[in-house]
Structure 1
Amino acid sequence: MLKGFAPIHTANSSVLILGTGPSVVSSLKQQYYGHERNAFWPIMASILAGPIENYEQKWDLLLANDIALWDVLAQFERKGSADSAYTEVIANDLRQFIDEHTQLRIILFNGKKAADLYRRLIGYYPVTVQFETLPSTSPAYTLDIGQKLKLWREAIIHPIQSLQKES
């Protein structure tokens, strides 16, 4: 079985972004959203106003904004990179992750498949956490980049500003 990556997070993470599992290119690079046409990192750079020239900067950008990144799947069988091609799946222990991250207030799903897998395999929806499904940043999901950016910006900026006011 193929294996996912460890989470990017701190104890203070207030937002968790969940994908499904690494693509073939991401697995080869050992980087979240490693495919050059995936819009995830350009969207984060635009929203969070930070550099993403290397993988360390990408991590730093998320962590500086209390954003955690992980996938629903810990292990999986899949032919190619399509979310529709999963044949076997084993979930990460997201219930434990959520319970241990007491600052967590928002979980954003990077695409419908991530939300569906979470619902089916985890099904844990604490009342203190808001859940939202966003358009996939994958190049296979053909929504215009401007529309993806707008929806992702609304989902990240307004809640982060609200959380900062609470602090």
Structure 2
Amino acid sequence: MLKGFPPIHSQQSRILILGTGPSVVSSLKQQYYGHERNAFWPIMSEILQGPIETYEQKWNLLLANDIALWDVLAEFERKGSADSAYTTVIPNDLKLFIDEHAMLNRILFNGQKASDFYRRLIGYYPPAIEFQTLASTSPAYTLGFGQKLEVWRNSIVHPIQC
């Protein structure tokens, strides 16, 4: 079984971004969204206006903006990196995580598969939290960078400004 990473979070986290599980490249690098063609970190840098040259800077950028990052899956078997290739899945204890983070008001799924796993394996939707499924930042999802950026910007920045 492959294992996911621990969450990036603080008690002040207001937004939780959930993926499925680390890709092959991310697992080798031991970094969230480690594939150089994944748009996640460039999108975060553009929206949050911060540097992402090092993994520490990436963590700090999220934490400075009260954003938590984790995956729905704690352990899994998968052939390759495709979301369609999962065979066995064990979820993280997201109900406990959500309950322990009282400031959370939004959960954003990085792609439809993360949302589907959450619905099927967790199914916990507190009414005070808004849930949204966003365009995957994966290079396999063919929406252009600019379109992905706008979708993510609308979900991260605009609700905060309201």
Q: TM-score range by the shorter chain?
A: over 0.9
Query: Which residue does 2:78 correspond to in 1?
Result: 78
Q: Distance in 1 between matches of 2:32 and 2:57?
A: 13
Matching of residues 51-70 of structure 1 within 5 Å: 51-70=51-70
Tell me, what secondary structure is at the counterpart of 1:107?
strand
Tell me the percent identity.
Answer: 77
Query: Which residue does 2:161 correspond to in 1?
Result: 161
C-alpha displacement of 1:66:
0.1
Query: Amino acid of the residue matched to residue 131 of structure 1?
Result: F
- Which range moves more in the overlay, 152-161 or 136-145? 152-161
Query: Which residue does 1:97 correspond to in 2?
Result: 97
Query: Amino acid of the residue matched to residue 129 of structure 2?
Result: V
Query: Amino acid of the residue matched to residue 44 of structure 1?
Result: M
C-alpha displacement of 1:158:
1.5
C-alpha displacement of 1:115:
0.1
Query: Which residue does 1:119 correspond to in 2?
Result: 119
Tell me, what secondary structure is at the counterpart of 2:157?
helix
C-alpha displacement of 1:159:
2.3
TM-score by length of 1: 0.96
Query: Which residue does 1:31 correspond to in 2?
Result: 31
Q: Distance in 2 between matches of 1:18 and 1:160?
A: 19
1:108 lines up with 2:108 in the alignment: yes
The Cα offsets for residues 7-49 of structure 1, whole Å up to 9 and x where unpaired, read as 0000010000000000000000000000000000000000000
Tell me, what secondary structure is at the counterpart of 1:109?
strand
After superposition, the CA RMSD in angstroms is: 0.5
Tell me, what secondary structure is at the counterpart of 1:113?
helix
Tell me, what secondary structure is at the counterpart of 2:38?
coil
Query: Which stretches in structure 2 are left out of the alignment for 5+ residues?
Result: none
Tell me, what secondary structure is at the counterpart of 1:74?
strand
Query: Which stretches in structure 1 are left out of the alignment for 5+ residues?
Result: 163-167
Q: Deviation above 3 Å: which 4+ runs of structure 1?
A: none
Query: Amino acid of the residue matched to residue 41 of structure 1?
Result: W
TM-score by length of 2: 0.99
Query: Which residue does 1:129 correspond to in 2?
Result: 129
The Cα offsets for residues 46-75 of structure 1, whole Å up to 9 and x where unpaired, read as 000000000000000000000000000000
Tell me, what secondary structure is at the counterpart of 1:140?
coil
